[in-house]
Structure 1
Amino acid sequence: MRRVGTVARSSSGLVAGLTAAALAAVGFLAYQASANVPDSLAAPRPTSSSPAVGPSGSPEARPADPLAVPADSGTGVRVVYALADRRVWLVGEQGEPRTFAVMPSTVDPKPGTYAVTSRSGKVPGSDGVQIEHVVRFATVEGVSIGFSAAMDGSMASPDPAKKTGGVRMKRADGDAMWKFAAIGAKVVVVP
């Protein structure tokens, strides 16, 4: 009887050891597989920005296509400026909207609907850079907010110590904005 008990204990110890080794191997392989998943298949990583809030106050999901016009930007002909995305869309009556990246100013307009109030062909920017195709649509704390393109083509980050309102874009995008957004044109700012 002693022998049977010893064999039973040896067998159960062996089974427990093999089970632990198998679980460790499976865990290692699962880790290795998750570490090598291409970005296109990986789960989205959390960001530090909060979700956009729609008119009802509830969070709205961003479109699957990051270049798609934000759903919470209304309808019709309009310029859409997404603060968090640092992107502008020129939405016409028909066809695909033109979209491009921008460099925001240090003073942002609040989300809402505005209209183009003034335009200037060429002026010095508040940061001293020569700019063209200025399309202004808001004023915040005495700072005019508008789209523009630096004549030297730069889109540098603004000095955070200065209050500036120029939303900079590439010159070709500035040309498109100038042609699209006349006085009174609708500008929708989304979070």
Structure 2
Amino acid sequence: ECDVEDCWQREMIVNGEPDPVTEFAFGGKVYVRRRAEEAQESFPAISGAVTAYGRMLLWGLMEQAGRENVYYIDTDSLLVNGEGLERLKPRIKQGELGALHLDRIAEKVIIYGLKDYAIEGRRTVKGVKMNAIRTGEHSWIEQKWERFHSALHHGRLEDYRIRLSPKVLKLPYTKGVVLPSGVVVPHRL
């Protein structure tokens, strides 16, 4: 415990520790932050098994739709053409847990890259906020709240600050070879 008005932060190197430890005081308490490690009670094999199951399920859905009919896949979704939709219809059960549901049918889709696409003119980009201001074809400016540790470091705890932060997408696709037709041939290990 410390004085409620006393706010500070320092990095320390502890003998035998490979990474520095951050110690900071705020609100009358002293906190220690170490580099994040696997929690003692965690069991990563469970999340690994769930992820593997989901990937194999998606692979089966791609096979059912016909790989030539699948335009894009993500963690929990497929973007298919009309033929792919017809082949997947037996698996579509709106509102049923574990079944497919049809999100929408679109006439115009542009796929820019991983988690970066436009459906009917509405662009979705992972990591870019919906209210970000577009400054170029692949760049935006968005508002970011100052993080607590940054405010503590700069001694500004009386209010929160918002800053404008540029975001530029890296476009090279590295998951496979993109053919002139747009088809991606995955790398083989």
**TM-score band w.r.t. shorter chain:** under 0.3
Q: Which has the larger radius of gyration?
A: 1
Tell me: higher relative CO, structure 1 or 2? Use CA pairs within 8 A at least 6 residues apart: 1
